[in-house]
Structure 1
Amino acid sequence: MKKIIIIITASLFLCSCKKEVKDKNQKLNVVTTTSMITDLVKNIGGDAIEVKGLMGSGVDPHLYKASEGDVSKLVNADIIFYNGLHLEGKLVEVFEKMESQDIKTIAIGESLKKNTLIGSDYFASNYDPHIWFSVDNWKIITSFVIKTLQEIDPKNAEIFKTNGEVYLSKLTELERKLEAKIETLPKEKRILVTAHDAFSYFGKAYDFNVVGLQGLSTATEAGVQDVQKLANFIIEKQVKAIFVESSVPKRTIEALQAAVKSKNHEVAIGGTLFSDALGNTGTKEGTYIGMFEYNVNTIINALK
């Protein structure tokens, strides 16, 4: 990490003159971290801005480290949007360096009121950073991103406003679909067991008991006692299915399934959920809205 910061510092110094004489007609150069944020900013900015995402499909932001290939994207950015709340823990030092060199960095998590966040002892921020699993949160963040882009690129303010309003209406429609689907599952069956605890905001919004094998961060390894304890919980609650995550190795959930089987009980793997990253670009799951619909359909169909 120190090597990357040194490279970034040197690159910032060398690029400072070039940034001062940037063509006024050139598109706003936006860099984003997670694929959820990339999708959001593209929906609002449309063709009026240039968006470069650092993390693609299946990338775990908890463990992500800036590569030397990311340096040119970061130092040439007009604005950087990231999640914050220490989700991108290994990039915090890099973002601090960006700020000291007068590159605008925006933590979207800071747009949310603290009393709406879920507490966590596992992150330096003391809050669960998986804020995108509340559509209400995502609406607030959408409005925040619209306003931020308008302030930094006022000539395209109307484009951001129009695109943002369209996207907000789509989020409202998403909420309607999710609620209708979830209502088909009895409340006593709403127990969601996943590889790590990324779905607490989802659980709070839709009355699910969410249990993650690895806790909030994938940097935390699950021990034998954790597996055995959760296996007993699954048997006691007669949980029908447990879930793999696209950005987390499936061996942890397979170990949990095996532990349940060793106690003469069966639990199915209900499918793969997208937690810390979207699906492949060009697929339905490669968008925030498509990902959320896919997850809910997968969960409900497996637990019914």
Structure 2
Amino acid sequence: MAVATVGMVADLVREIGGDRVEVVQIMGSGVDPHLYKTTRDDVRELMRGDLIFYSGLMLEGKMTDTLEKIGRTKPVYAVTERIRPEYLLEPEDSAGHSDPHVWMDVSAWAQCIVVVAQALSEYDPEHAEEYTQAAARYAAELEELHRYGQERIASVPAERRLLITSHDAFNYFGRAYDLEVVGVQGLSTESEAGLQQINRLVDLIVDREVQAVFVESSVPRKNIESLIDGARSRGHEVVIGSELYSDAMGPEGTYEGTYIGMLDHNITRVARALGGQAPDRGLRGQLRPAGASPENSSAAGEGEG
């Protein structure tokens, strides 16, 4: 049994482990890992696991001490450990920590595949070839998704490539797909958005005539709504372009509840909201239609290849 912290990591282990590996996921859809506190049940699951996988780079901030303690007695892997240090972003307000949201760049997250494949192969060498083949297949799928991201965002007019979101989870997304990204809050949702920052972003929205801003599934909407109200008070109408997935994937059992579905959703919705060209149902034709309820979208995930 493998235990994973967040959905993106759990999905990576499921894709490579296949039917050979039972995966237990600690944090579900809509859960903010920055604020998550480990429960007794979590510790029990972690202790039951044969291998433990987490994202790393301080994403699971309040759980890090627990993971380090358990790592003294059983294999614990940070899937981001193989990403080259020079590739990582370190924003000015990050207190010396690298930005942990590397999965927002599909080409970066693909670098994590080898960590999982090697860990499973070492633990279960009898089926190592199966894990290697699954890793190669999944890497090819992520390469296709990354190209889709580059092409769809490239279709957005250059002057409209400004992505304003609830917190700074999209810096790797911006670098990978050539978008200017601004978050109301900092890297962690523990940081508060001050009135000065809100006013500065309202100025930006009005001056640049921004048409759409974005909320996140795991972060309260209040700060984005403050931006909309502030812009309206100055005679400029801006709308919520879509709800994006940042620190958590979509509902379990849906296409958006997979890593590929999560990024397909983000790429497609951002491109369309900012004036670019992208199919409403995304790369694989499996996204729920824009505006559809997540609770009624399980059919959107059926037939995923």
Query: What interval of TM-score do these two structures reach, taking the shorter chain for normalisation?
Result: 0.7 to 0.9
Which letter maps to 2:258?
Answer: T
Partner residue of 1:241 out of 188, 212, 226: 212
Quick check: 1:149–1:160 contact (8 Å CA) kept in 2? yes
Helix, strand or coil at the partner of 1:195? strand
Partner residue of 1:194 out of 144, 165, 174: 165
Instruction: Give the CA deviation at 1:155.
Output: 1.4
User: 1:38 — aligned with what?
Assistant: 10
Distance change in 2, residues 1:63/1:122 (3 Å): farther
**Structure 2 unpaired stretches of 5+:** 276-305
Task: Tell me the TM-score normalized by structure 2.
Answer: 0.87
Quick check: 2:154–2:177 contact (8 Å CA) kept in 1? no
Quick check: 1:139–1:171 contact (8 Å CA) kept in 2? yes
Quick check: 2:153–2:178 contact (8 Å CA) kept in 1? no
Structure 1 position 72 matched with structure 2 position 44: yes
Report the RMSD for the aligned CA atoms in angstroms: 1.2
Instruction: Give the CA deviation at 1:30.
Output: 0.6
Which letter maps to 1:75?
Answer: M
Helix, strand or coil at the partner of 1:228? helix
**Structure 1 unpaired stretches of 5+:** 1-28
Which letter maps to 2:174?
Answer: G
Instruction: Give the CA deviation at 1:212.
Output: 0.1
Instruction: Give the CA deviation at 1:276.
Output: 0.4
Map 1:20-169 → 2, pairs under 5 A: 29-100=1-72, 102-123=73-94, 126-169=97-140
Distance change in 2, residues 1:81/1:124 (3 Å): farther
Instruction: Give the CA deviation at 1:236.
Output: 1.3
Instruction: Give the CA deviation at 1:125.
Output: 5.7
Could you tell me how far apart the structure 2 residues matched to 1:156 and 1:301 are?
43
Helix, strand or coil at the partner of 2:185? coil
Distance change in 2, residues 1:53/1:124 (3 Å): farther
In terms of mean alpha carbon deviation, does 175-184 or 125-134 score higher? 175-184
Instruction: Give the CA deviation at 1:206.
Output: 1.2
Could you tell me how far apart the structure 1 residues matched to 2:17 and 2:67 are?
22
Could you tell me how far apart the structure 1 residues matched to 2:130 and 2:142 are?
18
Helix, strand or coil at the partner of 2:175? helix
**Whose Rg is larger?**
1
User: 2:200 — aligned with what?
Assistant: 229
Could you tell me how far apart the structure 2 residues matched to 1:128 and 1:155 are?
37
Give the paired residue count. Answer: 275
Instruction: Give the CA deviation at 1:139.
Output: 1.3
Helix, strand or coil at the partner of 2:22? strand
Partner residue of 1:207 out of 158, 166, 178: 178
Quick check: 2:6–2:55 contact (8 Å CA) kept in 1? yes
Quick check: 2:209–2:236 contact (8 Å CA) kept in 1? no
Partner residue of 1:180 out of 123, 128, 151: 151
Quick check: 1:86–1:124 contact (8 Å CA) kept in 2? no
Quick check: 1:270–1:302 contact (8 Å CA) kept in 2? yes
Task: Tell me the TM-score normalized by structure 1.
Answer: 0.88
Distance change in 2, residues 1:80/1:217 (3 Å): same
Which letter maps to 1:88?
Answer: E
Helix, strand or coil at the partner of 1:210? strand
Structure 1 position 291 matched with structure 2 position 291: no
Could you tell me how far apart the structure 2 residues matched to 1:122 and 1:250 are?
22
